[in-house]
Every structure is written in structure tokens, then in C-alpha cells.
């Protein structure tokens, strides 16, 4: 340990990676156990699991959980969301599953959406909103497919619907009137938030300071080594407040500045006990990662720690792609060694190899057999 927590402690990239991988629970094969309880534990530990519509392979929320729950089944997520109600959907940097225990944080965000409505909802009339709330209140949980009396309109955006009620449901969700009580693929069923969670009234929303504390604690738990940028991902307005919280913890010696090889001095911090508490991994691991995995989503951080610059090329013209339409980084132990572009052929029950690229220290001789073994397991998960 360093003599003083006031001075930056030099740390190698390999040590920094080990800390981050341990925080992400990617350095062991079954960190959260099994069943719906494992889903709850995973979401609570990570802070969020992103939801995405792309289904070239299995959707990213299932994929992210699969990488931390080897026996994962889609029914686990349904049970956690709709039966145990230990997780729910709301917006972080994107639509995500978040822990129900943290609902006060998101109630604050719901109230802020009501105060400052998004332009996305400018076409929703008070009548539209009253209609969907009345239908849910009187008839119970419903999806957009249950609303059959809408007068169809022209789409004003590729992601929009011709049914006005769809955007009204979205508004009611963001405002905290409704929650997603269950999901089948990307079809959401909505219920009154209080009724779903069996609440007489909503908990008191968190204060701004409590939200800042929450974001810092979430990052420390799921990232191990943090920066202001990594704590405030997609929330740049919070940087000044988070920086002050970090500085206060440094003064109390609760956080230690670290200088990572290749990074600017003093821009990262870690809890002092993490410097020596992370043992060498006892298990060999291979993970085929989602592009939306918490380890991958912050591209600059990923590049710094792993020397790999991930490109999400689904929206890039084919002739300009490097790794492929839906490229998946492959983590072997503590190195990203390959990028594989896969596509599920659900009719033929096969996982199609579109492109395999070696990166970093990856090589066929050292890694191909282990990756192929994981690909076989990954294919079974995809097509079951």
C-alpha cells in the first residue's frame, strides 16, 4: 500500500483491468448463482442492464445476463420483473433494467420529466394521455396491441407508431404513471406503477445530492476504478458535483488517486482496499460480449483499459465496416483477443459466422480452441 492516500498510486494496466473485471464479475464463471434471484443480484450489482431492440442475435439484456449467469434462461428475467418485481424498467443512459430497491432515484427522474417534457411527446394530447390511463386503470395491464380504437396517423419518425396511444403510453411511462409490468420480446405490457408494486403511494423522490451519491456508489461497485467521465456517462451536467464528491472522499482517504499506465495522472480513483484485495483469477474465462455490455458501452474507457477501439457498425455502410454489422468483442481471461460478427439463423437453428477478426494479443494458436468451445455454448443459448 502507498504511504499516503493523497498521492497518486502507480498502477499497471493489467492490474487496472483485473480490478474492473472483478467489479464487473467477469473474472469468474458463476458470480450470482442461479434463477430469478441471480438476475436480481446481477442487476443490483451492475446498477443497470441495458435493453435494446436489435435481435440479430439474442437481445442484449439477455446476452448481458447470460455472461454472468451461465445457466441463464429468459424466464429468469420475466420472473424477476413480473413476479418477484425485484427489477423494473426505466431510463439510465438508455432504457434499462434497474433495481426496484433504487426506485426513489428514478422517481426523481420521473418528476423531472413531468416538469420538463421532451419534444418527443409534443404530439401527445391531454386526451390521449387520459385515454391510456383510463384503459389501464379500468381494464388492468395492457399493451399497445390491446388498444384497437385508435385513429391511425402518419408516422413522424422511423421509430414512431401510427397509433397515437403508443406515444401516450411512453409518456405515461416516463412520467411515472405507468410501469412495464411484463415484456414479451419488445412488446411491453403496462400497468399503473403503484398497482404493480402494490404501493399506497410512491416513495419520496431522492434529492439531487442523493442521486449524485448513488451514481458514485454505483460506479465504485460496478467499475472498481472510476473517473469522472465513467461515473457521469451520458450525464455531463453532473460532472462538477461528482468531482466535488470524489475530492471530499480523497480528503477523507476513502478514495485513492491512481495513475494508470497510459492515462493522465490523477484522473482515476479507487477505494484503497481494492489495490491489494483483488486476487489473481482462479478460473479461466471466455466471454463473448454484447456491444451494450457495461464493460463495452463506454468506448474510451474500454480502449484505455484494453487497447481495443470498439466500433458499433450496424449503422455504418457495408463497405466501411471493419469488424462487421454486429461485432462482438471476445474477452479471454483479461484480454480482448478477437471480434466476431455473428447472426442467428433461427429457421435453421444455427449461429452463422459472418466474420472473425483477431485483435490485440489474440491468435489462433493461443485462443481459437477456447473461443470455439464458448461459441458452441453461446449457440445453444441463442437458439434454445
Contacts of residue 26, defined as CB under 8 A and 6 or more positions apart, other chains included, come to: 67, 68, 285, 287, 295, 331
Q: What share of the chain is helix, strand, coil (3-state, %, to 5)?
A: 40, 15, 40
- Per-residue confidence in pLDDT tens, the chain, 384 aa: 444 545 788 999 999 999 999 999 999 989 999 999 999 999 999 999 999 988 899 999 999 999 999 999 999 999 999 999 999 999 999 999 999 999 999 999 999 999 998 988 988 999 999 999 999 999 999 999 999 987 877 777 766 678 889 999 999 999 999 999 999 988 999 999 999 999 999 999 999 999 999 999 999 999 999 999 999 999 999 999 999 999 999 999 999 999 998 776 669 999 999 887 776 777 899 999 999 999 999 999 999 999 999 999 999 999 999 999 999 999 999 999 999 999 999 889 999 999 999 999 999 999 999 999 999 999 999 888
> Of 48, 119, 120, whose CA–CA distance to 90 is shortest?
48
Do 337 and 362 contact (CB within 8 A), yes or no?
A: yes
Helix, coil or strand: residue 199: coil
Do 314 and 330 contact (CB within 8 A), yes or no?
A: no
Give how far Cα 191 sits from Cα of 39, 134, 137, Å.
Answer: 22, 11, 8
Angle CA 42–46–52, to nearest 5: 90
Do 243 and 231 contact (CB within 8 A), yes or no?
A: no
Amino acid at each position: 500500500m502507498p504511504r499516503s492516500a493523497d498521492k497518486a498510486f502507480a498502477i499497471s494496466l493489467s492490474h487496472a483491468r483485473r480490478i474492473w473485471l472483478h467489479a464487473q464479475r467477469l473474472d469468474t464463471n458463476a458470480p450470482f448463482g442461479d434463477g430469478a434471484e441471480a438476475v436480481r443480484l446481477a442487476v443490483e450489482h451492475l446498477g443497470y442492464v441495458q435493453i435494446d431492440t436489435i435481435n440479430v442475435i439474442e437481445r442484449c439484456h439477455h446476452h448481458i445476463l447470460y455472461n454472468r449467469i451461465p445457466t441463464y434462461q429468459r424466464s429468469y428475467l420475466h420472473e424477476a420483473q413480473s413476479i418477484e418485481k425485484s427489477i423494473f424498467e426505466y431510463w439510465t443512459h438508455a432504457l434499462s433494467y434497474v433495481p426496484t430497491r433504487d426506485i426513489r432515484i428514478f422517481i426523481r427522474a420521473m418528476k423531472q420529466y413531468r416538469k420538463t417534457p421532451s419534444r418527443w411527446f409534443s404530439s401527445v394530447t391531454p386526451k390521449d394521455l387520459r385515454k391510456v390511463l383510463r384503459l389501464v386503470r379500468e381494464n388492468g395491464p395492457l399493451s399497445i396491441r390491446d388498444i384497437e380504437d385508435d385513429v391511425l396517423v402518419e408516422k413522424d419518425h422511423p421509430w414512431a407508431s401510427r397509433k397515437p396511444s403508443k406515444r401516450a403510453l411512453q409518456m405515461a411511462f416516463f412520467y411515472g404513471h405507468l410501469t412495464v409490468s411484463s415484456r414479451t420480446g419488445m412488446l411491453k405490457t403496462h400497468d399503473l406503477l403503484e398497482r404493480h408494486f402494490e404501493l399506497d403511494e410512491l416513495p419520496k423522490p431522492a434529492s439531487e445530492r442523493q442521486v449524485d451519491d448513488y451514481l458514485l456508489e454505483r460506479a465504485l461497485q460496478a467499475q472498481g476504478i472510476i473517473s469522472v467521465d465513467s461515473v457521469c456517462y451520458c450525464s455531463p451536467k453532473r460532472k462538477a458535483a461528482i468531482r466535488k464528491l470524489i475530492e471530499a472522499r480523497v480528503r477523507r482517504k476513502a478514495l485513492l488517486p491512481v495513475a494508470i499506465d497510459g492515462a493522465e495522472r490523477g484522473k482515476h480513483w479507487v477505494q484503497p482496499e481494492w489495490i491489494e484485495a483483488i486476487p489473481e483469477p482462479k478460473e479461466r474465462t471466455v466471454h463473448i460480449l454484447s456491444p451494450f455490455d457495461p464493460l463495452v458501452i463506454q468506448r474510451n474507457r474500454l480502449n484505455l483499459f484494453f487497447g481495443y477501439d470498439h466500433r458499433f457498425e450496424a449503422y455504418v455502410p457495408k463497405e466501411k465496416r471493419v469488424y462487421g454489422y454486429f461485432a462482438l468483442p471476445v474477452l479471454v481471461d483479461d484480454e480482448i483477443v478477437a471480434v466476431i460478427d455473428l447472426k442467428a439463423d433461427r429457421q435453421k437453428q444455427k449461429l452463422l459466422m459472418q466474420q472473425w477478426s483477431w485483435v490485440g494479443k489474440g491468435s489462433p494458436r493461443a485462443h481459437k480452441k477456447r473461443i470455439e468451445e464458448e461459441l458452441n455454448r453461446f449457440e445453444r443459448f441463442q437458439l434454445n
